[in-house]
Amino acid sequence: MTTSAAGQSPRRAAAAEPFGLLRQPREVLFGTGQRAAVPSIVASLGKRVSIVTDERMTQDAFYHELREGLVAAGVTDVSVFDRTEPDLPLRTIDAAVGRIRAQRPDVLIGLGGGSCMDLAKVVAVLLTHGGSTRDYYGEFAVPGPTLPVVAIPTTAGTGSEVTPVAVLSDPDLTMKVGISSPHLIPYAAVVDPALTHSCPPGLTASVGADALAHVVESFTAIRHPATPGLSRERVFVGKGELTDQYALHGIELIGRSLRAAVDGGPGADTARSEMMMAALCGGFALGTAGTAAAHAFQYPVGAMTHTPHGVGVGVLLPYVMAFNGSRRPQEMARIAELLGVDAGANPTAAAVRAVADLLAAVKIPATLKDLGVRRDDLDTVAEQGLRAKRLVENNPVHLGPEEARELVENAFTGRLL
């Protein structure tokens, strides 16, 4: 083996070299009241605009402000698709494309939770490149740039406003499926925490658990060899120096603010604002680093139990951390510390306990059994979770059939450590 001038093997020197990649929207605006900037951003992109949202949102004062603001900013043609359904079934995408295509919009606004923003992203792909949604499943299947999307989140959870992925439900597949491409990243994200004030406690908790899973899973993800081809071979490239900064900030904010945002007492507005920033940081982190096993096993669990995405990843997260701890001891110590717990001699135990306590405090169930999974379903959960290849490959510890079965068994029985 040859050695470098510093006496290190070339392999070791390469491993120590920092690697960083960020893929982000052209413009990201954060702050209470920033929603008022949306009309001018949109009007700078064209005069024909389609708003992709859901029925709840059309009852919200902001929706009406937005429509008036768009007209005042010179937008001449506004159409609305307000039939987005949670978890984005394929039929919703077909209905949206059918409704919007004839208008030939210049720009799409995705207004709502992750389901509405993901729908806007998929509609932009289909209106630009044609074909059917199924043509674009997987990574790098979108051939080029799409119509611009301006994303406006109303939940503090998914981070979809800045990510290169849309997640949908296909009735012919047992699990949800992703379309992942840098071309899916919205043109602009306008992130106004006031839009989350209407979220009830259960929704705030479930989307907050999703944001927590994003920052923890991207911070503890696999570290791929930093070859020059990495960013072209994978949409989600694993742990890196730049995404770590977003993940760390997000973990700290969630530790400080998730409980207060869910409780809704005095100081809740500040807590909601911090959760919105945490969710945005989660989007930056996951959008480049990627998530891992908690997200992989949520797919079959969600399909079986019809429980929200965030609740499922929240249940699974502490068990996945316990499984991965031996490979990420320093990261576990940082997570524990940021959540206000002394890492002590066993950082994994401290981090797992801190995350489990935080999730229990906002009433995320403790086990898959509590979520409605049956013991007979565990083989299926393990098998199907492993099929989410991009997520499984992003886990820092190898997951084969045996490891997967043991992990879901632990998550079913509540054996954390």
Q: Which residues bind ligand NAD (CB under 6 A)?
A: 54, 56, 86-88, 112-116, 118, 154-155, 157-160, 163, 165-167, 176, 195-196, 198-199, 203, 207, 210, 309-310
Distances (CA, A) of 312 to 106, 301, 308: 37, 7, 7
Cβ closest to ligand NAD, residue 165 vs residue 191: 165
Shortest Å distance, C-beta 107 to ligand NAD: 19
In angstroms, what is the minimal distance from the CB of 294 to ligand NAD?
Answer: 12
> In whole angstroms, how close is the CB of 340 to ligand NAD at the nearest point?
26
For ligand NAD, give the closer residue by CB, 120 or 332: 120
Q: Which is nearer to ligand NAD, 348 or 395 (CB)?
A: 395
- How many Cβ atoms from other residues are within 10 Å of residue 254's Cβ? 30
Closest to ligand NAD by CB, 167 or 332? 167
What are 128's strand-pairing partners?
Answer: none
Q: How far apart are CA 398 and CA 409, in angstroms?
A: 17
Q: Residue 325 Cβ, how far from ligand NAD at the closest point, in Å?
A: 24
Please give the structure tokens belonging to residue 355.
């995350």
Could you tell me the strand order of the sheet in which 138-139 lies?
138-139, 176-180, 165-169
The residue among 180 and 220 lying less far from ligand NAD, judged by its C-beta, is 180
Give the residue with the Cβ less far from ligand NAD, 288 or 348: 288
Compute the distance between CA of residue 340 and CA of residue 359 in angstroms, rounded to an integer: 14
Q: Which amino acid is at 263?
A: D
What's the closest the beta carbon of residue 195 comes to ligand NAD, in angstroms? 6
Task: Tell me the closest approach of the beta carbon of residue 158 to ligand NAD, in angstroms.
Answer: 4
Q: Which one, 25 or 310, has the nearer CB to ligand NAD? A: 310
CA separation for the pair 157, 379 (Å, rounded): 29
CA pair distance 90, 184, nearest whole angstrom: 17
309 vs 353, beta carbon nearer ligand NAD: 309
* Residue whose C-alpha is closest to residue 181's, from 137, 140, 134, 132: 140
How far apart, in whole angstroms, are the C-alpha atoms of residue 127 and residue 119? 12
Cβ closer to ligand NAD: 166 or 254? 166
**Closest CB 68 distance from ligand NAD, rounded Å:** 20
Q: How far is the CB of 330 from ligand NAD (least distance, A)?
A: 26
Torsion (CA) 241, 245, 248, 250 in degrees, nearest 10: -130
Whole-number minimum distance, CB 315 to ligand NAD, in Å?
A: 15
Starting at the edge strand found earlier in the chain, the sheet holding 48-52 runs 27-30, 188-191, 149-153, 107-112, 48-52, 77-81
Distance CA 121, CA 127 (A): 10
Alpha-carbon span 364 to 376, nearest angstrom: 23
187 Cβ neighbours under 8 A, 6+ residues apart:
25, 26, 27, 45, 107, 148, 149, 150
